[in-house]
Amino acid sequence: MTQPKPRLRSQDWFDNPDHADLTALYLERFMNYGITPDELRSGRPIIGIAQSGSDLAPCNRGHLANESRVRDGIRDAGGIPIAFPTHPIFENCRRPTAALDRNLAYLGLVEIMNGYPLDGVVLTTGCDKTTPSALMAASTVDIPAIVLSGGPMLDGWHNGERVGSGTVIWRARRKLAAGEMTRDEFLDEALDSAPSAGHCNTMGTALTMNAMAEALGMSLPGCATIPAPYRERGQIAYRTGMRIVEMVRADLCPSDIMTKAAFLNAVNTCAALGGSTNAQPHLNAMALHAGLSLTAADWSAAYDIPLLANVQPSGDYLGESFHRAGGVASIMRELLDNKRLNGECLTVSGEKISIQLARAAAPDGDVIRSYSQPLKDRAGFLVLSGNLFDFAIMKTSVISDEFSERYLSDPERPGVFEARAIVFESSDDYLTRINDPALNIDAHCILVIRGAGPIGWPGSAEVVNMQPPDHLLKSGITSLPTLGDGRQSGTADSPSILNASPESVAGGGLSLLRTGDTIRIDIKNGTCNAVVDDEELRQRSAGGVEVPEANTPWERLYRENVTQLEYGGILKGAPSFRATKNRLPRHN
């Protein structure tokens, strides 16, 4: 005897014998664009396509074209596609920071996925926060979900050299300040880094987070890196559409895939990629929404993972070359072969990740290095704590030889350095005063910024990678140590101390720091302390605690409810709303 087919979520709306009146109401308006009642009542899975592309979200705009291939795949597999827009998130353009939008897009997606007749969803992702917002929502609602990345732009070229999005700005602005470049040349070089549709082509936050979706098992193999304009992008869109229908039939849900082991795989993969420092708050946020947690110890355990991806800002190449060399799967294969990955984790394909990775390309030794001959020995984030904060991270894969030579090679105390703090209260304060001769900034200073965290900014700003004053740049000192309670762009090549939690406005120790204090950083022991007497620190009045007025209702709500970056900057209490499987909202 054949088993009766399990009832679909959408049938509670469209095919509910107990509520003939409501069923009519739920159905009728879908007719007005040509869908037939028979389709919606045929027991075929109804698949949402969360469309994140728009004119206002140019990094994701390629999804407007990908959508038709997703629809084809859904139809060919026997499902019915229903597309809907998500809140736009455009990292480079959104003021005061796109970080505000991650939780807002998350809220919107949760309400849509929970409140409408969807049996599964294709989550289109690309620009930085579009990926974590989508996966956070997938965990909260826990209906079958699959990520379709939009893919990076093609590699950018300028005067015969690769120029990567974001990274080119940080590098060129140093040349501009040193007087080695004109403003027009600056603009030309920057524009050449964006040669096609797609998201950032460096291993910035966008490529890192799409790689994290693949590493977690939430997208089909290869999905993270196929450049947006390649024909394979349309092809994987089609296969993603087909696959989500099968996932609904198999009831394969985010909670089956995003396990603690999968998150640890993602953390290790992030290290080997030289991934964005924003992966830390985003993965922590995603883990919390999945009912799990990533701790400082989990991040520290990945510190010794070697750098395998030779991609800017830690290396030389860009996303297109990285894809051609084998992409995320090749990196993960090396980790698996060297026992730094759990091969048992399930993916959206329904296979264990070890089975998938057996098909991945071996490292080419150039763009993708082998575990035994890496680009650098330790590429994980260094986790720091001390009297200025409980938690902060430092991206060590971008430490230049010049920087190591200057700060980390004292034969008496290797890996330990002291620097004189120059404290800025905001990015405006930094811009106004960085070239002020009265600050007497030299190579033994550390630039500190506060008021840039989730509450202070609000949203937490990418401002910590402050560049040295012009006179130092002209003398060849291209970076100083920096520290702050904000973030930095994933495309930045600065070994800054970031994401300091708690932030200054939340009573963090950074608020007690003064210009002229000595800060001691011990890389080996993971400490960062102001060399100031405890008693004196306690008696100081706090600085950096001014909070600019909220401009919008959301800014205020965000501030009132956001957690610190150590805990992902999520909305307090949101993880408690994890849906028990198959819970349906009450009728309309």
Contacts to ligand FES by CB under 6 A: 59, 91-92, 127-128, 165, 199-200, 204, 206
For the chain, give the number of residues.
588
Per DSSP, the three-state class of 122 is strand
Yes or no: say if 313 and 379 are a contact pair by the CB < 8 Å rule: no
Diameter over CA atoms, the chain: 86
What's the start-to-end Cα distance of the chain, in Å? 37
Q: Which of 164, 197, 240, 210 is nearest to 58 (CA)?
A: 197
Pick 192 or 337: Cβ nearer ligand FES: 192
Pick 101 or 485: Cβ nearer ligand FES: 101
Q: In angstroms, rounded to a whole number, what is the distance separating the alpha carbons of residues 537 and 531? A: 10
Pick 90 or 407: Cβ nearer ligand FES: 90
Pick 125 or 489: Cβ nearer Mg ion: 489
At residue 472, φ and ψ (nearest 5 deg) are -75, -40
Q: Segment near Mg ion (CB under 5 A), from 10-18, 83-91, 228-236, 261-269?
A: 83-91
| Shortest Å, Cβ 126 to ligand FES | 6
User: Token pair of 21, please?
Assistant: 């009146």
Pick 319 or 544: Cβ nearer ligand FES: 319
How far from chain centre, in Å, is Cα 572? 20
Per DSSP, the three-state class of 157 is strand
199 interface partner picked from ligand FES, Mg ion, none, CB below 5 to 8 A per type: ligand FES
59 interface partner picked from Mg ion, ligand FES, none, CB below 5 to 8 A per type: ligand FES
Pick 91 or 517: Cβ nearer ligand FES: 91
Question: Around Cβ 209, how many Cβ atoms within 10 Å?
Answer: 34
| Shortest Å, Cβ 205 to ligand FES | 7
| Shortest Å, Cβ 67 to ligand FES | 19
Residue ranges in 436-475 that form contacts with Mg ion under rule CB under 5 A: 462
| Shortest Å, Cβ 204 to ligand FES | 6
| Shortest Å, Cβ 168 to ligand FES | 12
Q: Segment near Mg ion (CB under 5 A), from 2-10, 348-356, 482-490, 532-540?
A: 482-490
Residue 101 makes contact with Mg ion by CB under 5 A: no
Pick 279 or 329: Cβ nearer Mg ion: 279
92 interface partner picked from ligand FES, Mg ion, none, CB below 5 to 8 A per type: ligand FES
| Shortest Å, Cβ 367 to Mg ion | 24
Yes or no: say if 245 and 47 are a contact pair by the CB < 8 Å rule: yes
| Shortest Å, Cβ 100 to ligand FES | 15
Q: Which of 149, 312, 427, 489 binds Mg ion (CB under 5 A)?
A: 489
489 interface partner picked from Mg ion, ligand FES, none, CB below 5 to 8 A per type: Mg ion
Residue with token string 């602005």: 173
Q: In angstroms, rounded to a whole number, what is the distance separating the alpha carbons of residues 224 and 148? A: 8
| Shortest Å, Cβ 163 to ligand FES | 14
User: Which amino acid, residue 401?
Assistant: D
Helix (H) or strand (E) holding 72, with range, is: helix 63-76
Q: In angstroms, rounded to a whole number, what is the distance separating the alpha carbons of residues 120 and 426? A: 44
- How many positions of this chain bind Mg ion (CB under 5 A)? 3
Per DSSP, the three-state class of 498 is strand
Pick 326 or 458: Cβ nearer Mg ion: 458
| Sign of the dihedral defined by the CA atoms of residues 439, 444, 450, 454, in that order | positive
User: Which amino acid, residue 518?
Assistant: T
Yes or no: say if 360 and 322 are a contact pair by the CB < 8 Å rule: no
Pick 24 or 56: Cβ nearer ligand FES: 56
| Shortest Å, Cβ 53 to ligand FES | 11
Question: Around Cβ 186, how many Cβ atoms within 10 Å?
Answer: 16
127 interface partner picked from ligand FES, Mg ion, none, CB below 5 to 8 A per type: ligand FES
Kindly list the distances between the CA atom of residue 354 and the CA atoms of 217, 241, 265, 330, 357, in Å, as whole numbers in the listed order: 11, 23, 12, 12, 5
Q: Which of 91, 142, 485, 517 binds Mg ion (CB under 5 A)?
A: 91
DSSP state letter for 480: -
Pick 45 or 204: Cβ nearer ligand FES: 204
| Shortest Å, Cβ 51 to ligand FES | 16
Task: Return residues touching Mg ion (CB under 5 A).
Answer: 91, 462, 489
